[in-house]
Every structure is written in structure tokens, then in C-alpha cells.
Amino acid sequence: MQISRNKVVIIGAGQVGTTIAFSLVVQEVCNEIVLVDINETKATGEAMDLQHGIEYFGRNTKIVAGTYADCKDADIVVITASSPYSGELDRLHMMDKTAGIVRAIVPQIMESGFDGIFVVVTNPVDIISYLVYKLSGLPKNQIIGTGTAIETSRLKQRIGHMLNIDPRNVEGLVLGEHGDSLFVPWSLVRAGGKNLMEIIKDNPEYSSIDLDQIEEETRKAGFTVLGKKGNTQYGIASVATGIISAVLRDEYKAIPVSTLMEGEYGITEAFCGVPAILNRYGVVDVVELHLNEREKKALENSVSVIKENIKKLGL
């Protein structure tokens, strides 16, 4: 399998799926986008609306509504379809209904002859990514969940604001489940090249910083947004676009995504958020960080939560 056509199929034409499509068009990432949704009329309308703006973008991206048959020659299939949000405060509460939807979707995608890369956005993303892996029969490198990439972006934004520095100059990440058991390996966080612990120690004005509070705010940020506007779309769409871009542009970029662990960090048979190198073949390497003992235990705990729920799906 090798990227060649730059065709992306998005399963689910809701707010997240269509925002991903818009982001791909604005950033000129691919040649063709196909929207597939159970509501074919809505998918057609969304495709038309996006296509009508092409005059004012830098690339003539082809955008159409389609069917699962369009996955046959796609490089990437993005799964955003899920059960409707109904006030859940834990992504795991959505698992059973969403798993049923995914069990119906993936076989139809594979029947088309698809042999590209899945980017899984649907929550709970670590468990659903593992389900897609099992249902598709594709090699592990071709299944990428969005993982903790969005929490990493939220963390860096928070630290950047706190230190009055561009968040892109913050080095740090969130690991584990895209859910309540995620954690921040604080020993590895740096800003402007300096360890965050040293910054706090050397600057009295930062002595009141509460790292536990920042971690909790990062953990709950998605639900904070949900409570204020009813959904999240722009952040996660940007994450998905970044992952798709890394693959289609063969970037060899490190992003904390959900990928299958086969001994890395002592973990097997689970997808969880860890930094991975992405290129045109999908996940080509997992970056193993040197965690301290507290962080190792936090990762073990997070993976145990993921595995418990994988078992509930009978996998």
C-alpha cells in the first residue's frame, strides 16, 4: 500500500466530518473529498456548499457526496460517524451504541476493496480504533486514532497562555486514553527549550501554578466546550487534518495518536495515545519516552481502562 491519489473519504457528514472536509479544503491537503452519510441528502448539500467556495481557495479540490463503494481507491477513510451525543460526561458511555454503528460501517468499506489508511475520530477513540483494526484485517500501521493529539494541543495552549509564550514553542504531550485516565508526563514538558519544572523554580511569579489543576482542565476541556456550545468541531477537525496531512505529504511527523502497542512501554494488544511517527504508510514507529515511575504507573492505569472496555466488546 502506498499513497498516490490524495483521495479522502469521510464517513459521517455531521459537524465534525464536514469541518474536517472544510479544513482539508482550506489547507489544500488533498485532490478529492467524498462525504458519505446515512442521510444522503445532507451529504449532497454539504458537498455542494463546500464546492461553491472553491473559487476563493488556492486549489480546485473535488468535493462530492458518495457511497462506501467510493472507498475502493481512497488513500484515507476518516470515520466520524457515531451515536448522537445525549449529555454523556464520559466518552466510554457512548461505546456500545457507537460500536454497533462501526460494526455496520467497516465491513462495507472493506467490501469496496479499500486498502488505505483509516483515521478514526469516533469516540471512545482508543476502543473504536481497536475495533476497526479487528474488523478491517488491515496491518496495524494503517489504523490511526486521533488519540491524545487534541489534549496535547489543549495542554500546550494552556501552558503557552500561562507563560506568555507561543504554544508552538511548548514541548509536551498528553499520554494514554482519550478520556478520564489520560495524564501529563510533566517531567518531559519544556517551554522555549527549558524544563517547565525549572521555569517554575526560577521564577517566583509562577510558584502558585497548580499542575494537577492544569491536567484536570486538560482532561475536561472537551466537555467544557460541549457545555458551552453543544459540540466540539474545530479543534478535533484540526487534529484530523494534521494527521491526514502528515500521511498524504509523507511528513514523518511525530503526533500523539492512538496506535496498536506491541511491546512498546510494556503494552500489548491495546490502542492508546503515544507519540508516533506518521508518513505515507501510516504509523511507521512509536516513540518510547523515558517516563519516571509515577508516569509509568499512570500509563499502566490508563491502558488497563482501555483494555477493560475492549473486553466488554468481546474483542
Of 52, 93, 161, 178, the active-site residue reads: 178
DSSP state of 176: B
DSSP state of 249: T
DSSP bridge pairs for 175: 183
Cell 517547565 -> residue: 196
Angle CA 72–25–238, to nearest 5: 95
> What phi and psi, each to the nearest 5 degrees, are found at residue 118?
-85, 130
Active site residue 93: no
Amino acid, single-letter form, for residue 295: E
Q: Which residues, including other chains, have CB under 8 Å from residue 244's CB and lie 6 or more apart?
A: 8, 24, 29, 30, 76, 78, 119
Q: How far is CA 26 from CA 73, 77, 189, in A?
A: 23, 19, 31
- What is the chain's alpha carbon radius of gyration, rounded to the nearest angstrom? 19
Cell 491502558 -> residue: 303
Question: What stretches of 242-297 adopt beta strand conformation (E)?
Answer: 253-262, 268-279, 282-286
DSSP bridge pairs for 274: 257
Q: Which residues of 159-172 are buried (b: 16+ CB within 10 A; e: fewer)?
A: bbeebeeebeebbb
Report the catalytic residues: 178
